Copies of this chain bind each other. A is one copy, B any other.
Amino acid sequence: MMHAGQTALSNRAVQGEKRTLVERLGYSRDTKLLIVHADDLGMAQSVNAGTIKAFETGLVNSGSIMVPCPWLAEIATYARTHPQTDLGLHLTLTSEWTPYRWGPVLPTDRVSSLLDKTGYFYLTESEAASHADPKQVEAEIRAQIDRARSFGIQPTHLDSHMGTLYQNKALFETLLRVARDHKLPTRISKEWFASTDYLPSILKPEDIVIDRMISIEPSVSPEGWEKFYTDAIKSIQPGVSEIIVHIAYDDAEMQAATADHPDWGAAWRQRDLQFFTSDKFRKLLQENQIKLITWREIGKLQYGR
């Protein structure tokens, strides 16, 4: 038996009027929804500490964890003691800081296509994607999910560190298959349809696609940081947007890790910490009628939890 609301929806569907994601989430069509998402949890102590501080402001409201990284156990303790925090898994197939490295969860001889000659993950997403055997990728990311659960993490979503799993069709299909099996939503943005021609062929009607992603780029100077984010937030349109941020302190650990890699480096991450915990950001959200939402709500919608 259907109730009145469902009947009305069905009528609208019959009339060819497609409900937007925002409406399906229970908001009016003109609502601006935003996920403020911190990547790279577990990667370094500085990342964990800075991101937890940002979570405490409520302004950064989602994040994802790198299971193969050395500080997993610390962020897992946070996840267990803060079960309401929206934490997903930042599936990891790269190890990008030259002085500080990590490798797979699975035995190295079972995922040899994922490892460089030093025995760690490749430094870059393009090297990783070009060498990766999708079967080994699937085994490894399933093992990352299993290890996360064994540490008491209940992930709300999946995404891909450095976008490695978005580098080609076989890897993207692998991510989608694993996400569906685990009934987890994953980061897919409408904008990608313009650049990724295979997307329509591998998505299913039930896969949720958010409207846009916002991410600062190395071309922005430190002085331009606040203006970039301010402009980006003012430009947010109705729909579901996600801002991807990278938070840490500009401290000795992070400076050493990123010494030869200023992009997404220590100072970058502290600038993100500063902006996204600021009153200015809080006011921008208010002034632009932006409501925060998390992957938890999107997962509930997608899988009817």
| Residues of chain A whose beta carbon lies under 8 Å from any beta carbon of chain B | 44-46, 48-49, 70-74, 77, 98-102, 105-110, 118-119, 147, 150-151, 249, 251-253, 256-257
Contacts and interface: CB of A to CB of B under 8 A. Distances in A.
13 contacts: A45-B100, A45-B252, A46-B252, A48-B256, A49-B256, A73-B101, A107-B107, A109-B109, A118-B151, A251-B251, A251-B252, A251-B253, A253-B253
B256 A45 contact: yes
Contacts of A100: 45, 70-71, 73-74
Contacts of A151: 118
Contacts of A72: 101
B253 A45 contact: yes
A101 B150 CA distance: 15
A281 B295 CA distance: 57
Contacts of A106: 108
Given A119-B147, A251-B251, 19 more contacts: A45-B100, A45-B253, A45-B256, A46-B252, A49-B252, A49-B256, A70-B70, A70-B102, A73-B99, A73-B100, A74-B99, A105-B119, A106-B108, A107-B107, A107-B109, A107-B110, A109-B109, A118-B151, A251-B253
Contact of A252 (B147, B253, B257): B253
Contacts of A110: 107, 109
Contacts of A48: 256
Contacts of A49: 252, 256
A105 B249 CA distance: 30
A154 to B, nearest CB: 17
B253 A101 contact: no
Contacts of A98: 73
A72 B99 CA distance: 7
Contacts of A109: 107, 109-110
A102 B73 CA distance: 10
B150 A118 contact: yes
A135 B49 CA distance: 40
A86 to B, nearest CB: 21
The 3 closest A-B pairs by CB, nearest first: A74-B99, A107-B107, A253-B253
B118 A99 contact: no
Contacts of A256: 45, 48-49, 74
Contacts of A46: 252-253
Nearest to A117: B150
A224 to B, nearest CB: 28
